[in-house]
Structure 1
Amino acid sequence: MTLIDQLPSDADPDALFEAFSTWVEERGISLYPAQEEALIEVVSGANVILSTPTGSGKSLVAAGAHFAALARDEVTFYTAPIKALVSEKFFELCKMFGTENVGMLTGDASVNADAPVICCTAEVLASIALRDGKDADIGQVVMDEFHFYAEPDRGWAWQIPLLELPQAQFILMSATLGDVSRFEDDLTRRTGRPTAVVRSATRPVPLSYEYRTTPLTETLTELLETQQAPVYIVHFTQAAAVERAQALMSINMCSRAEKDEIASLIGNFRFTTKFGRNLSRYVRHGIGVHHAGMLPKYRRLVEKLAQAGLLKVICGTDTLGVGVNVPIRTVLFTALTKYDGQRVRTLRAREFHQIAGRAGRAGFDTAGFVVAQAPEHVIENEKALAKAGDDPKKRRKVVRKKAPEGFVSWGQNTFEKLIASEPEPLTSRFRVTHAMLLSVIARPGNSFEGMRRLLEDNHEPRKNQLRHIRRAIAIYRSLLDGGVVERVAPEGTDGADGAAPIVRLTVDLQQDFALNQPLSTFALAAFELLDPESPSYALDMVSVVESTLDDPRQILAAQQNKARGEAVAAMKADGVEYEERMERLQDISYPKPLEELLFHAYGLYRKSHPWVGDHPLSPKSVIRDMYERAMTFTEFTSFYDLARTEGIVLRYLAGAYKALDHTVPDDLKSDDFQDIIAWLGEMVRQVDSSLLDEWEQLANPEEESAEEAQERADQVRPVTANARAFRVLVRNAMFRRVELAALDKVAELGEMDADSGWDEDAWAEAMDGYWEEYEELGTGPQARGPKLLRIEEDPEHGLWRVRQTFDDPNGDHDWGISAEVDLTASDEEGRAVVRVTEVGQL
């Protein structure tokens, strides 16, 4: 029986509260006083600002709010800052209210969009609020993790619904809101509803705090001995978290029986990457690693082992706070400062409480612990003083170690101040864009009045409002000059009597304008500039789509570093002087295919579609680079030294796959382009299928639960099942060998094919024969084309026999590589397992 079956016959507040609290009690849950207070206000129709500690049951209040909205026959929206949390809540609410009553909108996925309960990101709700305003069919908004209102790049999306949805009841929730009196008054004024602030400093699991001057290993050993594990060790870079896990391998974390239990729970889990193989060692020792750069399947494994109580220590980053399901008893800070992208600074009170609040598990722990380590130089000085004992002479002789250069100091006073401090007041992050003006102009009514109210009655100080007004005027003029909007005289006037003109759009905006990939319409126009007869047509299509995607900064930085490193080596070999080398390096960046063509097209397109100016074009080559180099995921991350951020690489690849599959019309998808899509999709699935499986499952959420989908995601389908994609994988594996041979990298070839008996010497001897006959070995489109690869399938013996012919300069095509593809081994490893049998002439 779902929660919706408990709906009373009318929306009387007492009946609603009674029905919901009965449902809660039947599940053996007792409401905390703050939950009761918040729910009473919610069912009475008031806005609620709920500021209670982590683990105090805010999700249950959200469920009660949705329950009340459904009883009132209102559409209710749940918003969260990240898609993963929105998706998690979607499946959770499907269980509560039934799949037919719950929908989801995340910008790149739409499920059951007409449902009465909608889960979405804040940006999606902001777009709807701008487009429809008070006419939007939204009766209630539940905003989870509302402290994201103060995020510099995304905070605008949390403010817009408050400004533009006066008809809605708002429930704003976070553990770290700070002073909210401004929101209390503002919501009441805008919505005409009373606004209740429900606060509680009482945690279901109380926290105790301790500042330590012992070395971290000693601190950790003591925490383990006093049953204060699991311990989450907080670092402020992903590299530091991984290095800590490696350093702690010397401590015996688990008993033999516990290690056996870990191995049993891991089972046949596939650790497919370089980082994965290291993680396998860590978790079998009782140490987890958890950060945003990991593959989702690895994070999920760490969470699964932690939930089973098998990990004593988890080394992670400060991004733990949002939507992460890692039960921990102790939070251990390695520092109280962080680099925020511009400078090293002390943690803000909100950041500290957000992380510290993860300690202590309701239902598991009776207490949580927060420990802060003193700076390393302070710990070493304390250790030296302790060694000197109480003798004043010896203590005076101790040479105290100084803080590192540039060190931002913190100490016990910093820790105590953070504990006592309330989270800082939330800062407005309003901004004006082309999409905002277009959405307001597209509404019925007086768009000038609507825009004036939005610009002058937001949460910004007056100085900022004036800046936003100037920006809005500049955008409006560009829309007017571009012919996207026009001014017309009000009905019944000739425009000469001083009546304010009406502005209207001259173009039709799609219903989901600004929700989908903003530059997808530009991509469609740019495809027409490409030559379908070009051998690079399919890859040029990929480059167009990649230029419209958000930049994966870590990948692009790695590509640039690699390009500059290779350039420096070449210039040194050519005898170029240092100063000139440094000057030339400034012009070397990551690869940007079709850069000139795309920017020219973008400039022309922007004149008639000025709103694309909000979304700058960014030519880049990640998919294309990987495909042209014929690299596997592991080879690519290793080549660019991206093992620590392989999760970011995979998310980019998965997003690009969705964009390529959906942005490009079917009639433009050539066979070569279809091959690329099939290859990319299968590669992503074999590395970690969860990113695509969840996306595809959203269309049919009733077929399986989130747990079933997650379990299926861990059981990867055989790589040979997708015949088209597997042929591309085989083709790439063979061509990768051609590329290395052309570069005379016989050492890498020998390492790749050592299991086949083709070591470095064997490859060198074979290729010497080729180089005696020919001066070059082609690696262009002709060389990798299907004409030079022959595949003979032999399913009876579980093999494919392949011959990759070399593209020699004379066109003789008599040299090549013969190999066998082991189908069973390929399915086990999730890649084309190729065993070279011969390199030479036919």
Structure 2
Amino acid sequence: MAGARLVTPPQPTSSATLRVPGSWSTPTPDQLFETFHEWAEAQGLTLYSAQEDAILELADSQHVIMATPTGSGKSLVALAAHFFGLARGERTMYTAPIKALVSEKFFSLVGVFGAENVGMVTGDSAVNAGAPIICCTAEILANEALRDGAEARLGPVVMDEFHFYADPHRGWAWQVPLIELPQAQFLLMSATLGETTRFEKRIAERTGRDVVVVSSAERPVPLSFEYSTTALVDKLEELAGMQLAPVYVVHFSQREAAEQAAGLMSLNLLSKPERERLGERLKTFRFAKGYGQTLSRLLKSGVGVHHAGMLPKYRRLVEQLAQEGLLKVISGTDTLGVGINVPIRTVLLTGLSKYDGSRVRQLNAREFHQIAGRAGRAGFDTEGTVVVQAPEHVIENEAAARKLAAKHSGDDAKLTQALKTKPKKKPPEGFVSWSEKTFEKLIVAEPEPMVSRMRVTYAMVLHLLNRPEDPVMAMRRLITSSDETPVRQAQLQRRALEILRELLAAGVLEKFDEPDEDGRTVDLTIDLQDDFALNQPLAPFAVAALDLLDPESETYALEVISVIESILETPYQVTGAQVKKLKSERLAELKAEGVDFTERMRILDDMTHPQPLAEILEQQFEVYRAAVPWVADHELQPKSVVRDMIERAFTFIDAVNFYGLARSEGVLLRYLTDAYRTLSQTVPTAKVNEDLEDLLEWLGEVIRQTDSSLLEEWERLAAGDDPEKLAAWEKHRDDDAASVPVTGFTSNERAFAVVVRNAMFRRAELFSQEKEEALAGLQRERSPNSDWADPDRWADALDGFFDDYEDVYVDAKARSAEYFLLDKNPADKPGFWHAVQVLDDNKSNHDWGIHAWIDLAASDEAEAAVLTVHHVGELRNA
């Protein structure tokens, strides 16, 4: 492999803004093409022949299927489609499989067409939803297609990463628009479409206009391929020495990506000037405790990590450093196939088999080409390189064979005997092997034909009821027009009939004796909220379930959180870690109690993650489902993540460390963000009390202090078109940007007071359990020199309390504000707060408490409440 030269990408020579000439009324195809072509040239861009062909066809109002390799400029063709729609006065849409790509495209299009012309619609909320150019996920477009069909106001529709048509869970959303939007002009794009004949034929038949396929097997940046039997570390050093970095090392699990990265820090990847530049670049970045400290060390050695379990701010930092040429190796997952915005010269796959959720199997051709295609980026590289590592046991066996060959050089008989007798390392159990032949077949293999994934759900039926036509016939047409086999179509029709009957039996639908003026034979008997099938389809159930709660209860705020958590998608990495931790603790207890092995295993097998209110919520869900049958499309999932953090007085890092979630910080953060967003959107104002407001303030601050990017994106979307909300958001963003160093942990007093209150009550709980070691441990963690870091000091206090009282309660009443005293301005102690957790004794005397000082400066530095207990006993002034 020859070293590939890094070239400077073309730079725009004028403003990137693309405007429709005011003199146009009905532009001709030639006018459209020439205007866009001139704009592209002004940006320093020269169209490839495939780009030019596709843009000409789009200007002529034809459908285009663009099946060209990664790096061939499909994004520029999509830009042309949006411009043509804008010029014709049409509404255009861009869809992609994941919100991150939709968001990225939204900001990109705003830069080209202006904020007034571009909007984004997600399941959470919308910004500028009336704009002529809309970015959304495929499901949003599919729902509009079901609701409005041929009446939808649409022109060009860009469907990016169209190979998701074959996705088992989401493929229906890529097929529905092709069936239900005959008025649209489609641009379907992917590097791995495979055979497209059936799409060409069916789209042309349904829409009455031609479908043009623009394909090219020739990449603007050619690829070279290598099968490696060299140990991974040695191979990476070799690639870096040949100037073939940055290298993206592909793994098929987050754990493998993180572990492999840690093993690469010893590589000599950076020159002294590069190390200095990297050090300067990282000086101002805030690495939080937890995985941030590990990532900081990795980055300083020129090694990055990139996977969905990381915090968004860390992923963006890795992308930025790679773009700046400061990282030589990035260890990540195969999500690279969907696209990350980094210039990658070499893709190195650590294997050709993966676990797909049900079994371990070899990669198929589409998966391989999606990943391999990321090597070598137009405008950066003159060549891309794809390396596949042989299985680890093969590499080790070959290395052993080479050693024997060197040892017995010149003595063939001894070498043969040594090779026969030397035991070979075997593959691990369950291993699905691959070889150089597997690799060679994948290189030349065409992507597999895309399989139809149509399905029928309650939500789809209800969307169709919005149309001025018979929904029964509309559903039948949708099913029979799909790409499913006749047998599968019959199954889908039976399912649709079952749903219809259930809706009729529940009284949600009524059947007419005669069709109405629109031809309807059935119609809704109730009003549905507009977004019932979007982000949180069980939100109406949650609102109804809130009526079961007692607003006067001391645990009301926590119970509201539990109701909302039950409708959120389960973060299985987190709940799995909870189960593991709980089982470990319970196993120790059972062993101490002398429970025999069989009984221990039975008890542990029955354990699950915490599920507050599960019984009452599941009962209510069955009642609710009888009246609202479509909720059967979704599963109630009681759990305790936010509530667990509150009850354990955890910061984000506390939760990460306690449950061992360093590799899944991003998963936890996304869940907390979803919980905050859903609590803010779903709980009616009348159901929010002061305690819940405090907890919401705390949760929002936890998210902001950890990584504010997800929350800021949602707040920007939630502001929508409201000028006051937009102004408030912009001020908040600007204030944060101007705040250097980052706002202190204690600056949000309301949120910090919740942290202190939770921490104090945690000590009361441990006191009630007589756990002096745990109490001393909490003190040692924050103030190791305190007298109360000694378990004996706590033991004396426990003896003193239980000499007078039999019990200390830690129920809902004991958690209430009545038993928590906080002085934010203690006399003669600036920079400190003083807190007292009153102990709720069985005689209701309430004359004992845990007294503590809270050091604000130390809390800012530690990003946690630094409490120093100074007295446990009878209540007294600080």
TM range (shorter): over 0.9
Partner of 2:126: 110
Distance change in 2, residues 1:707/1:653 (3 Å): closer
Give the equivalent residue in structure 2 for 1:803: 836
- Counterpart in 1 of 2:7? none
Q: 1:358 to 1:837 in 2, by over 3 A?
A: farther
> Pairwise CA RMSD of aligned residues?
2.4
* In structure 2, C-alpha distance between the alignment counterparts of 1:237 and 1:46, rounded to whole Å: 42
Q: 1:717 aligns with which of 743, 761, 770?
A: 743
- For 1:718, the aligned partner's letter is G
Equivalent in the alignment of 1:482: 506
Residue 679 of structure 1 is aligned with which of 681, 698, 717? 698
Q: 1:660-688 CA deviation, whole Å, 9 max, x = no partner?
A: 01100111101111111111111111111
Counterpart pick for 1:76 among 73, 87, 92: 92
Aligned residue number for residue 415 of structure 2: 394
Alignment-derived partner of residue 453 in structure 1: 477
| 3-state SS, counterpart of residue 203 of structure 1 | coil
1:122-137 alignment runs, 5 A limit? 122-137=138-153
Indicate conservation of the 8 Å contact 1:689/1:716, yes or no. no
1:705 is displaced (CA, Å) by: 13
Instruction: Quote the residue 2:368 is aligned against.
Output: 352
Q: Is the 8 A contact 1:91 1:706 kept in 2?
A: no
Rounded to whole Å, the distance in 2 between the matches of 1:7 and 1:397 is: 83
How far did residue 223 of structure 1 move? Answer: 0.7
1:181 maps to what in 2? 197
- Per the alignment, residue 418 of structure 1 pairs with 442
**Is 2:28 aligned against 1:4?**
no
Counterpart CA distance in 1 for 2:606 and 2:682 is 32
Look up the SS of the partner of 2:551 in the other structure.
coil
For the pair 1:45 / 2:64, whether they are aligned, the reply is no
Identity of matched residues, %? 54
* Structure 1 letter corresponding to 2:133: V
For 2:556 and 2:77, how far apart are their aligned partners in 1?
Answer: 54
270-279 or 385-394: which moved more? 385-394
Cα distance in 2 for residues equivalent to 1:259 and 1:243: 23
Mean Cα displacement is larger for which, 15-24 or 265-274? Answer: 265-274
Number of the residue aligned with 1:733: 759
Q: Aligned match of 1:596 in 615, 622, 625? A: 615
- For the residue of structure 2 that corresponds to 1:95, the secondary structure is helix
Residue 236 of structure 2: aligned partner? 220
Helix, strand or coil at the partner of 1:234: strand
What's 2:815 paired with? 784
- Structure 1 residues 342 and 516: alpha-carbon distance in aligned structure 2, compared to 1, 3 A threshold: closer
Q: Does the 8 Å CA contact 1:770/1:815 hold for their aligned counterparts?
A: no
Counterpart for residue 766 of structure 1:
794
Report the 3-state secondary structure (helix = DSSP H, G, I; strand = E; otherwise coil) of the residue aligned with 2:269: coil
Q: Is 2:728 the partner of 1:695?
A: no
After superposition, give the CA deviation of every residue in 1:160-206 in whole Å (9 maximum; x if it has no partner).
11111111011111111111111111111111110011111222211
Task: Look up the match of 1:826.
Answer: 859
Q: For 2:757 and 2:850, how far apart are their aligned partners in 1? A: 12
Amino acid at match of 2:851: S
Question: What is the CA-CA distance between 1:534 and the residue it aligns to?
Answer: 1.6
Equivalent residue in structure 2 for 1:143, among 144, 159, 173:
159
Map of 2:661 onto structure 1:
642
Distance 1:746 1:427, change over 3 A: farther
**Secondary structure of 2:203's aligned partner:** helix
> 1:244: how far off?
0.9
1:221-370 aligned within 5 A:
221-370=237-386
Q: 1:282 to 1:7 in 2, by over 3 A?
A: farther
Match of 1:496 in 2: none
Aligned 8 A contact 1:552 1:648 in 2: yes
Aligned partner of 1:526 in structure 2 is 545
Give the drift of 1:445: 1.4
Whole-angstrom distance in 2 between the partners of 1:560 and 1:592: 11
CA contact (8 A) 2:776 2:794 kept: no
Opposite residue 383 of structure 2, the aligned amino acid is: A
Q: Distance in 1 between matches of 2:589 and 2:604?
A: 12
The aligned residue for residue 514 of structure 1 is: 533
Q: Cα 1:376–1:711, aligned 2, differ >3 Å: closer, same or farther?
A: farther
* Secondary structure of 1:486 counterpart: strand
CA contact (8 A) 2:786 2:868 kept: no
CA distance in 2, matches of 1:689, 1:413: 47
Pairs within 5 Å for 1:607-646:
607-646=626-665
Matched to 2:459, the amino acid is A
The question of whether the paired residues in 2 share the 8 Å contact of 1:297 and 1:714 is answered with: no
Q: After TM superposition, which residue ranges in structure 1, 4 or more long, deviate above 6 angstroms?
A: 700-715
Q: 1: CA distance between counterparts of 2:497 and 2:247? A: 54
Q: What secondary structure is seen at the aligned counterpart in 2 of 1:550?
A: coil
1:761/1:624 CA distance change after superposition, 3 Å? closer
Supply the AA of the counterpart residue of 1:147: H
Aligned-partner Cα distance in 2 for 1:139–1:624: 47
The farther-off stretch of 163-172 and 561-570 is 561-570
Maintained 8 Å contact 1:749/1:759:
no
Question: Are the counterparts in 2 of residues 297 and 690 from structure 1 also a CA contact under 8 Å?
Answer: yes
Among 434, 438, 463, the alignment partner of 2:487 is: 463
**CA–CA separation in structure 2 for the residues paired with 1:706 and 1:198:** 46
Structure 1 residue 316, shift from structure 2 partner: 0.7
Aligned-partner residue type, residue 801 of structure 2: E
The verdict on how the C-alpha distance between 1:187 and 1:107 changes in structure 2, with shifts beyond 3 A counting, is: same
Deviation, 1:597, is 1.2
Q: SS of 2:214's equivalent?
A: strand
Partner of 1:730: helix, strand, or coil? helix
1:333 deviates by: 1.0
The alpha-carbon deviation at position 392 of structure 1 amounts to 4.1
Cα deviation code 1:363-412 (max 9, x no counterpart): 22111111111111111121122122252432332222222222211111
Read off the aligned partner of 1:66 and give its amino acid letter.
Answer: H
**Would the alpha carbon gap of residues 376 and 42 (structure 1) be closer, same or farther in structure 2, given more than 3 Å must change?**
same
Deviation at 1:585, TM superposition (A): 2.9
SS of equivalent to 1:634 = helix
Q: How far did residue 82 of structure 1 move?
A: 1.0
CA distance in 1, matches of 2:258, 2:40: 41
**Structure 2 gap segments, 5+ residues each:** 1-14
Structure-2 residue corresponding to 1:439: 463
For structure 1, which runs of at least 5 residues remain unmatched after alignment? 494-498
Query: Cα–Cα, structure 1 residues 326 and 480, in superposed 2: closer, same or farther, change >3 Å?
Result: same
Structure 2 Cα separation of the partners of residues 73 and 636 of structure 1: 52
2:625 equivalent in structure 1: 606
**Post-superposition shift, 1:643?**
1.6
By how many angstroms is 1:840 displaced? 4.3
Match for 1:804: what amino acid?
Q
TM-score, with length taken from structure 1: 0.95
Q: For residues 735 and 225 of structure 1, do their structure 2 counterparts lie closer, same or farther at Cα, with a shift above 3 Å needed?
A: same
Structure 1 residues 49 and 744, CA gap change in structure 2 (3 angstroms): farther
Letter in 1 for 2:443: I
